[in-house]
Amino acid sequence: MYQDTFKEGFLWGGAVAANQCEGAYLEDGKGLNVTDVSAGLLRMPHMRWNGTKWEADLDGYFPSHEAIDFYHRYAEDISLMGEMGFKAFRTSISWARIFPNGDETEPNEAGLQFYDRLFDEMHKNGIEPVVTLSHYETPLYLLTEYGGWLNEKMIDFWYRYVKTVFERYKGKVRYFLTFNEINNLFKIPFAGGGVLDIHPIHTETVNADLTRKDLYQAAHYIAIANAKTVKLCREIIPDAKIGCMISLSQLATYPTTCAPQDVLAAQRFQHQAMFFLELFCNGAYPSFVQREWHEIGYEPVFHAEDLALIQNNTVDFISFSYYKSCVIKDGEVMKTDTGGAYGANNPFITEYSPKPWRWPVDPAGLRYVCNFLNDHYHKPLFIVENGIGLNEHPDSNGRILDTFREKYIREHLHQLKEAIRDGCDVMGYLYWGPIDIVSAGTGEMDKRYGFIYVDKDNNGAGTMQRSRKNSFDFYKHVIETNGKDL
């Protein structure tokens, strides 16, 4: 049936990740996770070889260790989101709060209690929790002791964790996402994939020779874990919905020219973004990986029952991040950041986020991605990350006039509405970073996404006081009018 605009019950809101906002990185029994040794995922993890094994090197300043202290200030922050009228708020459960090392048999009660308090607070404010089970937060110990997802044992550790979560929060959470941007396994394996991958220049040994073969095997274990999670979620919380979460800026890959080889290059690049979609949504390995597997000499190690498990337990919906599009030329090696990939400049795109990030602004790319997904997978879509990072300072009246952000959102929502008119079933839109948090890629506070300003700078100075930017009222109005008045 034709849908002209955002449906009733559309899930408006915002999204963050535990490791970028909570802080309290060792409080109440929490163990270290992979992002705790990172001052930005695009930088080298701070690890050292002690002669026998890898260990955390915690010398220096790590912005995420305190972050915006959401762990203690969540009530104030959730109430501000409530004031904006949020219907949903996405955050992750930090796995190492629940199982500090990851391989324990009993969970950490204090960690579980924190999320009880947090979800209760959301409900008090009329906000539905949307929970990412793993957002770049694999317990570090699982990497240093077991190699992370290179090891099949991870499936059992993961299973124990998600079972604990489902049983504990079954009355409180109805929306789950499995692994955040899991396709980043191939781009930033350490944090994105939970795989022990230390670059050779960091020290000379161990896994310097990690190959795509290894990553494909890790992907297989993750696919099994994903399928088991979907199955378990349905058993324990039958009325919940569970989705995959993929970074899909890469689906908006345009060829540099209409030369057939450039068009084919763009298609190959899109295939990389489709790999996990095929596994999680169609429940099967896509035929397009066969050629690469043949060329790299990978022969998957599968158990007989694996493929049926993947086939029978596909996700309910597709959630994804979209920040920007990119342009590819045949033969070009694409570079990656947390927003997706980047290659040549697109002469038809004239607007960029400010320096030093310079992310191209391409709202139509969002419509393109939605249609692409709708054509291939026929599942409801959930935009769980879209936003713009700006370097902002309050003016002399203490206000932040972030009209660039308002324009960015307005234009993306216009295009989302077009996608709905094109026939896409869109469940919701969660703006990335409704409150300023630590940037995933570069560890900065100065890359601000929020409607809510947090007084803290890159060096950790500031009062942590929260204040409303101009876009706060703008977004509130968008939600109030269910996106009619953009």
Binding site for ligand BGP (CB under 6 A): 17, 20, 180-181, 247, 321, 338, 385, 389, 432, 439-442, 447
Q: Is the dihedral of CA 227, 229, 231, 233 positive or negative?
A: negative
Catalytic residue among 181, 392, 406, 444: 181
Which residue, 316 or 444, is less far from ligand BGP as judged by CB?
A: 444
Which residue, 369 or 420, is less far from ligand BGP as judged by CB?
A: 369
Q: Select from 31, 44, 127, 35 the least CA-distant residue to 87.
A: 127
Which residue, 128 or 181, is less far from ligand BGP as judged by CB?
A: 181
Q: How far is the CB of 342 from ligand BGP (least distance, A)?
A: 13
What's the residue count for the chain? 486
Q: Select from 371, 376, 386 the least CA-distant residue to 425.
A: 371
Which residue, 151 or 250, is less far from ligand BGP as judged by CB?
A: 250
Which residue, 54 or 176, is less far from ligand BGP as judged by CB?
A: 176
Q: How far is the CB of 286 from ligand BGP (least distance, A)?
A: 23
Q: How far is the CB of 257 from ligand BGP (least distance, A)?
A: 29
Q: How far is the CB of 235 from ligand BGP (least distance, A)?
A: 28
* SS3 assignment, position 253: strand
| DSSP symbols for 22-68 | ---TTGGG---BGGGG-SSTTSPP-EEE-SSSEEE---S--GGGTTT
Q: How far is the CB of 301 from ligand BGP (least distance, A)?
A: 29
Residues 89/129, Cβ–Cβ less than 8 Å: yes
- Whole-number Å distance between alpha carbons of 251 and 271: 8
Which residue, 118 or 188, is less far from ligand BGP as judged by CB?
A: 188
Residue whose beta carbon is closest to ligand BGP: 441
Q: Select from 236, 197, 270, 166 the least CA-distant residue to 41.
A: 197
83 is catalytic: no
Catalytic residue among 22, 121, 137, 385: 385
Strand partners, 128: 88
| DSSP symbols for 165-189 | HHHHHTTT--EEEEETTGGGGGTSI
Which residue, 38 or 247, is less far from ligand BGP as judged by CB?
A: 247
- Whole-number Å distance between alpha carbons of 449 and 452: 9
Tokens 């993890």 -> residue: 45
Q: How far is the CB of 109 from ligand BGP (least distance, A)?
A: 27
181 is catalytic: yes
Which residue, 358 or 378, is less far from ligand BGP as judged by CB?
A: 358
| Cβ burial 200-239 (10 Å sphere, 16+ → b, else e) | eebeeebbeebeeebbbbbbbbbbbbbbbbbebbbeebee
Q: How far is the CB of 63 from ligand BGP (least distance, A)?
A: 11
Q: How far is the CB of 448 from ligand BGP (least distance, A)?
A: 10
Strand partners, 467: 453
Torsion of CA 416, 386, 32, 150, to 10 degrees: 60
Torsion of CA 283, 285, 287, 290, to 10 degrees: 180
Residues 161/113, Cβ–Cβ less than 8 Å: no
Residues carrying an active site annotation? 181, 385
